[in-house]
Amino acid sequence: MIRPLSGIAARWRGWVELISRTEPGTALALFRILTGSALLILIGSVVVSDLVGVLWIDYEHGGYRRLAGGWLVQALGGASPEVVGSLVGVTFTAGILLTAGVLARPSALVAAQGMIALTTLNTHARSAYDPLLTNSLWLLVLADSTATLSLRCRRRHGRWTSDRPVAAWPRYLAIVQLIVLYTGTGLHKISIHWTPAGEFSALYYILQQPSWQRVDMTWLASVYPLTQVGTAVTWLWELTWPVVGLALWFRTTADRSGRVRALFNRIPIRGAYVSIGLLMHISVTVMMVIGPFTWITLAYYPCLFRSDELSRVGQRIRRTLRRSVPDR
């Protein structure tokens, strides 16, 4: 009995150590800013397109179908223009406060409840990225995301940046969410056209559908093999995202021995997956009408990096900008 108990104790100590780690809050701050911006884009696009009444207002008040709504909408009196308009205004305001870094946790909670209330009103107008954004907001309820790059930091320290440590575990949860997102997406691509049996033809056929196109895509027939490569790379890239989690773990435990760990730490796996992800998301956004999915997803990317790594990237960008601007 001694050995099992000692093993459990060791694992428990390791778990406590993991969730007790702290780090500068740069990654979580960028996650907050990008998530808040994505929320503003989502709500703002509906308002600017004058679609609030069409999508979220009940038939009795001028909408095109009956809308039941969740508990919050029902408690407020139903999907009337006044209720929906208030939810839109409150959610948008919470998004502004979240992006700026003012009362970030309460703002994230309010924004999440507003998102749930609005996006569950009409199942015809709901997208897969709505729950993802809601998950992002819930992670920001848990995280201390205003330690740096926020109005709160500016007010407390007289500057926009700070090295004040924050709990690292919310960042780890964001990484887990990203891995689950991509792996699950890959597993759900069960159409034969995503596989060799279907000649990796999925992207070509998707880009021929008028509902997705930004412009006419018939010209892709002349570069059909490139769409096959894109299909294969996208599918395999999504399916193998757990490798990124393993690579990050090996990087964190680089002081330990092991040939597999040493091999992983020599190969820039994270950089390769991030580069493919950026190229894929930007290409899809340019060619297809997919709403704010790209911006909601890319908000997670800073969480793949430690704050010191992000700082080095920022320094390189600043040096590049300084060299590109001629001295006067």
pTM, two decimal places: 0.93
Domain ranges of the chain: 25-157, 168-290
Q: What is the pLDDT of residue 48?
A: 96
Q: What is the pLDDT of residue 166?
A: 96
Q: What is the pLDDT of residue 1?
A: 46
Tell me the pLDDT tens digit for each residue of 117-147.
999 999 998 888 999 999 999 999 999 999 9
HEC-encoded secondary structure of the chain: CHHHHHHHHHHHHHHHHHHCCEEECHHHHHHHHHHHHHHHHHHHHHHHCCCHHHHHCCHHHCCCCCCCCCHHHHHHCCCCHHHHHHHHHHHHHHHHHHHHCCCHHHHHHHHHHHHHHHHCCCHHHCCCHHHHHHHHHHHHHHCCCCCCCCHHHHHHHCCCCCCCEEECHHHHHHHHHHHHHHHHHHHHCCCHHHCHHHCCCHHHHHCCCCCCECCCCHHHHHHHHHHHHHHHHHHHHHHCCHHHHHHHHHHHCCCCCCHHHHHHHHCCHHHHHHHHHHHHHHHHHHHECCCCHHHHHHCCHHHHCCHHHHHHHHHHHHHHHHHHCCCC
Q: What is the pLDDT of residue 12?
A: 83
Distance CA 225, CA 229 (A): 6
Residue ranges of the chain whose pLDDT lies below 70: 1-5, 325-328
Q: What is the pLDDT of residue 326?
A: 62
Tell me the pLDDT tens digit for each residue of 24-38.
999 999 999 999 999
Q: What is the pLDDT of residue 192?
A: 93
